[in-house]
Structure 1
Amino acid sequence: MIYYQVEKGGGGTMVPSVIDYLLQLPEAMHFARVQELCGDGVFFYRMLSEYGNGTFQLIEFEDDLLLILIGDYTPKDTFEKITEISEDYMEISQFETDSSSFKIGGRKKNQVDKGIYCYLNTQKKTYTYCEGGKPVRFTKVILSPKYFNTYFRLHDRNNAELLNSARDYILKNPSLPELNFVFQQIRDCQAEGHTLKIYLESKVMELLSLVVKGMEQEQKHISVKLDYKDIRNLRKTVTVMKNDLAAYPTGEELAQIAGMSTARYQLAFRKYYGTTPYEYLKELRLNQALILLKNSDYGIATIAAKVGYHNSGHFAKLFKKAYGLGPREYRNLHGIK
């Protein structure tokens, strides 16, 4: 086990700024800067071979209100990273791997699943773990409250309430096709210089607009009331879906897992997740297909079967409806045969 502790400044206090923390993070994790690939506000690093392999990219925008991180590396050894930052910020991330976990303060350790994740800084000590020998791939958007507040300046809710509502919405909907596709566009952008930053910020704005749209369409009109036990049981059914995307659980089976009648389960699921169990499972499947198409050598029919579609033609139609292009077009876009 390797330990990286980068929260302490010269005076022994927590790092006040998320940017101060991020600018020192790559070298603290044994990445070396590749100067010829760096530019104005763009920092590119490669992991030292004795510690693993892969890359880390940081894109810093003016006024320190927005940052984008792109990581793709495999550490040789399992490591624990400890951070503590006093500045408020929001992090919206897409993980393409599930080899990481974290805990905040004294809470229990949580696995990071593939898909979208959102974090609001709590100013508590955070522990991050990455397994040795397993790839870590993520794209992160770091937003300051000022940036977020500027974007929502015409909204009638206060900033703290909006931040919490946005976080809750994202955490309940980690596999939304639109959000995942925007993150792929951020990650795959080949532009340089000023054009790169214009493009990336436009994608961040698109990301936020999708979050706002989703928040406004939440199923608040559904009259069913949910307590903590109901929400915990709803999450159990989502875990069942995630554990075997090729399975076809019936509404009755899921309702039984949730300890509800089928009718109440359907209403409760829509109330909490904003969609039906069937649509939610479809989003999980299509998100996994997006990752497999890009990061594996499986044929399209095999990928379709792995995510629960034995008719590859039907899978292709669903994929195109969600992402605007078919599976083969998506692979061609990334130069994959």
Structure 2
Amino acid sequence: MNKTGFCPDWYGKGVKLLKQHFGCSVISYQCNGTGMLHDYALFPGINLIFMDFNCADTFDEPSEVRNILELRHYQEGRIEFEFDGQKVFHLQQDEFCINALMNMPARYSFPFEYCTGLSLIIDRDALTDETISQLAPYQIDLSALEYDLDLERQWYICKTPSTMLHIFNELYAAKGNEPVEYFRIKALELLYHAGKLWKGDRVAATYYSREHIDIVKRVRRIMLDDLSSNIPLEKMLRGEHISTVTFQAIFKQIYGRSPYAYLKRYKMNSAAVQLCESSESINQIALSLGYSNASKFARAFQDVFRILPRAYRSQKKSI
């Protein structure tokens, strides 16, 4: 990257530089929604990029081969990485990963249609002797980090360690509010703690095929198209080349809950909106969501919101 942090070839197609100030480039993606990056050029060869997306698009990674080391964290949402050969895996909220040149994905997207995260990118080819000398007093050895975590073969993924979680939270809070010098200090903290990671804490990445991922997403859409129906999952999967067990495993990896738990929460969120914005009776709302009677619906609503539907409506109407 150049010293301003903005290089169109690095980000891929469809990006626009909006402004640059205090070592930060604000970049917009052209997409069906919004995609914003705040890119801080910290040291020659080291950039910190904040990502805020609200869209369902799939983005291709730039095709150029890049000799990089990358630390990623996601505060909200979930990201889907697809690799050549149509292998797919998902990085979840509050998971942390480090990856290197040999394991870069071909494309990525956001199953929840939103995502907030950050990426600390180290471009080995752009590192200067000055940058390396600035890392040395803090016992930051990038080659040792890559070797110790076996990054040439696979990603390092783990639940974000407490020693690093507070740093990520401070970084998100500081975006747009602090000068680049602040982010330099925090990046050094992250790299110092990354050097203390143990490969035994690694979580194995679970990969699934693109075909199975697409089946899960298609069936999810069917589930949500008509909330009044209660079609058994086994019936929805008839004719699909996927087992019920595999479907449930992939569904939970993508959406964070089992199909049943996900659908229940989705229905209760819909019910909450109807209770606030419509004059329909609780029984009518229950029927519209596939419940045979109001008492079953009320129990499900209370499971999610810890309050009965009637009390919830009264509470919201009084505000």
Normalising to structure 2: TM-score of the pair?
A: 0.50
Higher RCO (CA-CA < 8 Å; seq separation 6+): 2
More strand by share: 2
User: Greater Rg, structure 1 or structure 2?
Assistant: 2
Normalising to structure 1: TM-score of the pair?
A: 0.47
